[in-house]
């Protein structure tokens, strides 16, 4: 049976409080050692003692992180192969096995290319700024670019392993990290921590503390900055704190102007991928489709394609639909719950709404299910697209593209057959992580006469 210990002060530690991590069939997958909220302050004190010195160049850490990525992808770590790890993640989270395996490979590739990922974070893509903490203009003038603290708290989700690249980038920029993993997937950050340790990374700069919701306010209070993932309840608790970068539901959408559809078959394939990718569990998977113009054939064909997706055990390599561990939660979603072979699912589908103001349009469900609305060709769709994490536009309307790009409530804009879940390691998500962790300061130094 897998074991996930507490990690602090550079070593694994046990706890008297142990939680059983169960599968979507109710079987025990792992024993997860729990940390009390009182331990958070002590762990942060330890992290500060081993944090990077002011002005320290983090570049020597990058080859160690890249090596950890190689181990993550190919090695047996703690007696667990990559395939076995993906199997355990599938059992614990319900994510289809093929998605869990691919996500681990994506995370490993991000670590192996950490220097390239950091170029997205560095001012002007200049890695020297990360090393020297100064940005140099072409005319030789400089300003300081310095961290706004030492310790980053990270409240992780369980929906997708690739999200853990975010806190690794913080380590790569010289921060120390305290991580509370998601309740369903403490396995991925523990495997990643073991890979970093085996690669020689100074692991006294990292702490892994599993625990309940009581850890969250303690983490925010003790750390200099916190990145958090969650829903409305967590947003209400910490989302307004300026020290917190909160990532909630994405409400990502696809807009299709019917006259812009040159190949209906290719467009249907694209829309299926927007909704079904990674089991629909990402916040950037499409949760709503907006079509302007004659949309009957497109919407009905897409609905048929989604309804035809089979409900398979997530361990089946052909599975595309995630299992739900909580049947009651599945039953409370707009599409409701269905059972197959004793496993609870939210059935894939597309629900057409008469207008964008009609429920459940735009509802977000971590499953390959979405809503759709058909609008007249001349209607202004900006009120509908407003407030989306990501929007994909299939349109020839250049003014709409510009309006989306300049709308501050839309964080990602893609044009053409680019799915809303598209990203590259280190690319902006809700802005750049470095914009949250670093600040620019005017700085000039001259020698005395």
Average pLDDT score, the chain: 96
Diameter of the chain by CA atoms? 83
pLDDT at 446 exceeding the cut of 90: no
- For residues 275 and 368, the answer to whether their CB atoms sit within 8 Å is yes
**pLDDT for position 320:** 98
- For residues 389 and 430, the answer to whether their CB atoms sit within 8 Å is yes
pLDDT at 239 exceeding the cut of 90: no
CA separation for the pair 369, 221 (Å, rounded): 37
pLDDT at 101 exceeding the cut of 90: yes
More confident residue, 416 or 378: 416
**pLDDT for position 240:** 81
Residue 426: name the closest of 82, 109, 51, 68 by CA: 109
Q: What is the mean pLDDT of residues 247-264?
A: 95
**pLDDT for position 241:** 86
**pLDDT for position 1:** 85
**pLDDT for position 231:** 83
- For residues 316 and 282, the answer to whether their CB atoms sit within 8 Å is no
pLDDT tens digits, residue range 38-97?
Answer: 999 999 999 999 999 999 999 999 999 999 999 999 999 999 999 999 999 999 999 999
pLDDT band at 134 (very low <50, low <70, confident <90, very high): very high
Model pTM score: 0.96
**pLDDT for position 18:** 98
* Reported CATH class of domain 253-415: alpha beta
**pLDDT for position 445:** 87
Alpha-carbon torsion (200, 205, 206, 211), positive or negative:
positive
CA separation for the pair 384, 115 (Å, rounded): 38
Domain residue limits, the chain: 2-249+429-441, 253-415
Q: What is the mean pLDDT of residues 120-139?
A: 94
- Which overall architecture, per CATH, does domain 2-249+429-441 show? 3-Layer(aba) Sandwich (3.40)
**pLDDT for position 173:** 98
pLDDT tens digits, residue range 19-48?
Answer: 999 999 999 999 999 999 999 999 999 999
pLDDT band at 430 (very low <50, low <70, confident <90, very high): confident
Q: What is the mean pLDDT of residues 406-424?
A: 97
In three-state form (DSSP H/G/I as H, E/B as E, the rest C), the secondary structure along the chain is CEEECEEECCEEECCCCEEEEECCCCCEEEEEEECCCHHHHHHHHHHHHCCCCCCCCCHHHHHHHHHHHHHHHHCCECCECHHHHHHHHHHHHCCCHHHHHHHHHHHHHHHHCHHHHHHHHCHHHCHHHHHHCEEECCCCCEEEEEECCCEEEEECCCCCHHHHHHHHHHHHCCCEEEEECCCCCCHHHHHHHHHHHHCCCCHHHEEECECCCCHHHHHHHHCCEEEEECCHHHHHHHCCCCCEEEECCCCCEEEEEHHHCCCHHHHHHHHHHHHHHHHHCCCCCCCEEEEECCCHHHHHHHHHHHHCCCCCCCCCCCCCCCEECCHHHHHCCCCCEEEECCEEEECCEEEECCCCCCCCCCCCCCCCEEEEEEECCCCCCHHHHCCCCEEEEECCCHHHHHHHHHCCCCCEEEECCCCCCCCCCCCCCCCCHHHHHEEEECCCCCCCC
pLDDT band at 237 (very low <50, low <70, confident <90, very high): confident
**Paired residues of 268 in beta bridges:** none
**pLDDT for position 233:** 79
Residue 243: name the closest of 229, 230, 225 by CA: 225
CA separation for the pair 227, 168 (Å, rounded): 12
List the 142-147 sheet strands across, edge first: 134-136, 142-147, 438-441
pLDDT tens digits, residue range 303-353?
Answer: 999 999 999 999 999 999 999 999 999 999 999 999 999 999 999 999 999
pLDDT tens digits, residue range 196-216?
Answer: 999 999 999 999 999 999 999
φ/ψ of 281, rounded to 5, equals: -90, -15
């Amino acid at each position: 049976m897998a074991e996930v210990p507490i990690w602090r002060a550079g070593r694994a530690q046990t706890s008297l409080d142990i939680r059983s991590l169960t599968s979507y069939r109710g079987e025990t997958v792992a024993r997860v050692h729990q940390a009390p909220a009182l331990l958070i302050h002590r762990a942060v004190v330890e992290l500060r003692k081993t944090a990077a010195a002011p002005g320290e160049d983090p570049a020597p850490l990058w080859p160690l992180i890249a090596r950890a990525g190689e181990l993550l992808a190919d090695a047996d770590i703690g007696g667990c192969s990559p395939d076995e790890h993906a199997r355990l993640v599938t059992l614990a989270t319900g994510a289809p096995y093929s998605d869990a395996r691919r996500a681990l490979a994506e995370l490993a590739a991000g670590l192996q290319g950490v220097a390239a990922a950091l170029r997205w974070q560095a001012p002007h893509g200049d890695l020297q700024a990360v090393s020297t903490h100064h940005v140099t203009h072409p005319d030789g003038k400089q300003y300081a670019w310095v961290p706004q603290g030492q310790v980053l708290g990270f409240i992780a989700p369980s929906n997708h392993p690739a999200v853990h690249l975010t806190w690794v980038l913080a380590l790569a920029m010289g921060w120390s990290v305290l991580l509370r993993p998601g309740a369903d997937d403490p396995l991925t950050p523990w495997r990643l921590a073991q890979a970093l340790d085996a690669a020689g990374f100074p692991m006294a700069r990292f702490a892994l503390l599993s625990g309940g919701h009581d850890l969250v306010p303690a983490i925010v209070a003790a750390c200099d900055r916190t990145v958090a993932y969650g829903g409305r309840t967590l947003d209400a608790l910490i989302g307004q704190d300026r020290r917190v970068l909160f990532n909630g539901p994405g409400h990502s959408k696809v807009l299709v102007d019917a006259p812009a559809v040159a190949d209906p078959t290719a467009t249907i394939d694209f829309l299926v991928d927007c909704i079904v990718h990674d089991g629909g569990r990402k916040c950037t998977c499409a949760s709503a489709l907006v079509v302007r113009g004659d949309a009957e054939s497109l919407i009905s064909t897409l609905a048929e394609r989604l309804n035809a997706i089979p409900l398979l055990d997530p361990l089946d390599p052909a599975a595309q639909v995630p299992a739900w561990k909580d049947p009651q939660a599945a039953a409370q979603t707009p599409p409701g719950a269905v059972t197959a072979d004793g496993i609870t699912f939210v059935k894939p589908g597309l629900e057409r709404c008469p207008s964008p103001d009609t429920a459940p349009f735009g509802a977000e469900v971590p499953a390959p299910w979405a809503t759709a609305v058909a609008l007249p060709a001349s209607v202004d769709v900006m009120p509908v697209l407003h407030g989306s994490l990501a929007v994909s536009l299939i349109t020839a309307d250049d003014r709409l593209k510009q309006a989306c790009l300049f709308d501050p409530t839309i964080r990602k804009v893609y044009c053409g057959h680019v799915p809303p879940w598209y990203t590259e390691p280190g690319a902006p998500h809700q802005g750049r992580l470095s914009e949250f962790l670093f600040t620019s300061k005017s700085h000039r130094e001259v020698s005395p006469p």
